[in-house]
A and B are shown apart, each in its own frame.
Chain A
Amino acid sequence: MAGLRLDIKRMRWTWLGLFFIALFMMIYLPARHDITAWPEQPTSTSRSIRYYEESLKLPIKSYAKSSVPGMPSEQQTDLRNHYVGVAKALNRKNYRAVNRHVLAILDYGRRDPYQFSLHDSLNFQSGMVTEIPYQYLVHRRINATPLVSVRSDAVNVIAGSLGAYGFGKDFWYDRNTSLALLLCIGGMCVCFGDLFTNDYRRGTYTFVRTLPKSELGYHLKRATVLVIAISLVFLLALVVAVAAIAADPDHALGDLRYPIATVIKGDTVLIPIWQYFARWWLLVTLWAVFIAGLAFVFSHVSRSTVMCVFLLLVIAFSRQLYLLQMIPASLRTFLPVSFNVIPQLFYQAGDFGPMSTLCWAGTLIVWSLFLWGIGGIMIKFRTRATDEQKEH
């Protein structure tokens, strides 16, 4: 325990604090832009309810007069009742009833020419079957509806800022959704580069080598503490960002079970928000472990912090620097350094066609074990000379 307390004391808490602030800004500011930049669009609870009440007036009026040609009048009355039901339930914020009514309306399919007024949520991609998310919502009795929650609830807006809706040609403005992850990785490179070279810089390395425990164990313990700290910083930034959006009175907290719908290989796939956040967290933690391994190996190559951090940055951002283009495409998927574009990674798009979550997690874990193994072998190799001298 004393060793653990020492490691915690030795960590650079100011750097972690700055990292937290930068990460929080990176997650919160795009979300805030999303909910404030377009005052005419349904980007808050009250605005969404008003927006849909307005757009539902047309179908309600035309079905009340039974003025749609080619549809029997019982169906038109039924549809009118459902549209009125949607409008009333929105007014009372009874989203479960909204979902039930919308599902009944979607049942009519193309016979109902006014369905477009329900399609305004930003997650509509070509090939998506709109009933599937509604069926999920009704089945689980979730109190959130795409009409309101997608652009106003805190967890949805933060998921959007983390790239949940950032894919597909229908995304309505251009934003680099991977920036938060790139910032994370950059911060990790700096932190780990500093961690493994600070003993050289402070001249305490010879002291470390005289400690009566294995050197590999010493480095492993310090790296684990930093990995856990970074992982917690990410979680904290996420929670504070969600709380910051939810603090606004016109935005509800939302439901973590809400499903993000996306099209993967032609099928409509639902990803609950908690699972999306969990994948993000897993990616960040595994990247931290991977960079720890890389930094450990590089610290044997060069004792200078700047050189270590530079090598880490070059490798971590090799996709952004186009260095990966020089490697044949078939080998590229085996290299974990290309796993820093969101949401293509999560949605199996582009380069990541065949990669499921287990696939990229496994790749990162295997590489990390490999790197730590190499580091251990390098230590063994270096201390072998002194071991041999001890025997004599």
Chain B
Amino acid sequence: MGAQYRLTLKRSLHSVTNIVIAAAFFLLLMGTSFSHYGQLDTTQATQYSAYATADEAVAKTINDLKKVKPASASVKAALKQKNQEKYYLDQITLATAGGLSADVNEVNKAVLAHAKYSLRATEKDPQVPLQLIKYQGKPTSHKLIERKKDVAVYRYLYQHHMREIPVAAVKPPAANYVANALLYHVSPLLIIAVFIVWLAEFFTTDQREGNLSVTNTLPMNKTKVLLAKMGVAFTLALPLFGLSALAVYLVVGLGAGWGSFQYPIAYSPDGQQAEIMLLGHFLVLLLSALIAVFSFFVALSALVSLVASDMGTVLVADALVLLTGSAPVLGSKALSGAAKFLPSAYFDYSGLILHTAAWPSLGYGGGIVVLLAGASILVGAAGLIVHRRQLL
């Protein structure tokens, strides 16, 4: 099998499709950077103005409350709460008064104090009308878990003396850029679609070049040929994705700085407690999930290519299976209970890692197991077909 593997590898190394998908990944991941091309880096100014807007809104509320006469008990309580809120927001305004030269630790301390106050207020009364700070690109929510996440993130940033880099940052450093692109800006389904194009072209090369009938007459084990092909698929396609991501990291890093892989992302594993996941850890989990999904699609493409050796057919079959992993299909009532046992539920891996998927799932570990189990079943089926008919 070693010789077969090396032969297939040599043949596929020179394929033009490798360049195509590397370029496709690069363009997809760099899309956000292109959209900000030529713009000034106004991230910090936008962030600080969000704080200022919240401060002004609370000041206005206080003025309106003061005008209410006679002041009932509930109005007095609301005024007291708003005054407390204003105190913390004023601290933030004071710390960010330096604009771009504001001290990171001072800003983090003030924002952390405000986040802790918001958490205490929400724990005491879940309906408290807090003035939430509207960060660009991030939806605001009054839920308790969001306050816990805020406290977790800002505590981490304060303890490690790091500057906050918001999701909608104009020129984020490379580590944050790659993570944000993979998490928010590029749909996982799109990345898998590019892989599908490569897989469809790879598994049907023999038929296209007319080598299939010759290969079938050779006295070697056809199952080994198929397994060698699957091995080459892993060797070529995944490193191409890795190289494109690395290229994006280098291009963005040379322009905007490298960033730190220890930047915190807040998530909640169970909806009650907030935890911190480091960027580096997140990228490792994402890569593992991607490898699991890729193995599933390798097995699927191998199986389909045995049945119909036309590139178009393999492409359409893979695409249809991919579409079963899209939100409208998974959310439909027909699949409600069984959805979490299907590999389709785990194609959208970004939601999986941060436990923000909109449909029931078995979690990260469970998802990987389901995907690999699905892949094994498909490989088994493919092996059976080849073994029975001894033809590729």
Contact = CB atoms under 8 A, between A and B. Distances in A.
A306 B23 CA distance: 12
B34 A322 contact: yes
Contacts of B312: 14-15
A14 B308 CA distance: 15
Given A304-B16, A307-B16, A326-B37, A321 B27 contact: yes
Nearest to B210: A203
Contacts of B36: 325
B31 A322 contact: yes
B164 interface: no
Nearest to B18: A306
A236 interface: no
Contacts, number: 40
B45 to A, nearest CB: 21
Interface in A298-326: 302, 304, 306-307, 310, 314, 321-323, 325-326
28 contacts: A15-B312, A18-B316, A201-B208, A302-B16, A304-B16, A304-B17, A306-B16, A306-B17, A306-B20, A306-B197, A306-B201, A307-B16, A307-B17, A307-B20, A310-B20, A310-B23, A310-B24, A314-B27, A321-B27, A322-B32, A322-B35, A322-B37, A323-B27, A323-B34, A325-B34, A325-B35, A326-B34, A326-B38
Given A201-B208, A314-B27, A321 B34 contact: yes
A191 to B, nearest CB: 12
Contacts of B28: 321
B132 to A, nearest CB: 22
A315 B71 CA distance: 65
Contacts of B19: 307
A15 B17 CA distance: 21
A303 B27 CA distance: 22
Contacts of B16: 302, 304, 306-307
A322 B185 CA distance: 13
B37 A325 contact: yes
Contacts of A14: 312
A322 B29 CA distance: 11
Interface of A: 14-15, 18, 201, 302, 304, 306-307, 310, 314, 321-323, 325-326
What are the 6 tightest A-B residue pairs by CB atom distance, in nearest-first order?
Answer: A322-B34, A322-B35, A304-B16, A310-B20, A325-B37, A307-B16
A33 to B, nearest CB: 11
A330 to B, nearest CB: 13
A302 B23 CA distance: 15
Given A322-B31, A322-B32, 17 more contacts: A15-B312, A201-B208, A306-B17, A306-B201, A307-B16, A307-B17, A307-B19, A307-B20, A310-B20, A321-B28, A321-B34, A322-B35, A322-B37, A325-B35, A325-B37, A325-B38, A326-B37
Contact of B31 (A201, A310, A321): A321
A41 B23 CA distance: 48
Contacts of B208: 201
A182 to B, nearest CB: 14
Contacts of B201: 306
Residue from A18, A302, A306, A307 with most neighbouring chain B CB atoms (10 Å):
A306
A325 B20 CA distance: 22
Residue from B16, B23, B35 with most neighbouring chain A CB atoms (10 Å):
B16
B327 to A, nearest CB: 15
A306 B194 CA distance: 12
A140 B74 CA distance: 63
Contacts of A323: 27, 34
A18 B313 CA distance: 12
Nearest to B39: A325
Nearest to A328: B38
Nearest to A320: B31
Contacts of A302: 16
A326 B31 CA distance: 11
A314 B20 CA distance: 11
Contacts of A325: 34-38
Nearest to A307: B16
Contacts of B31: 321-322
A314 B34 CA distance: 14
Nearest to B34: A322
A321 B17 CA distance: 20
Contacts of A310: 20, 23-24
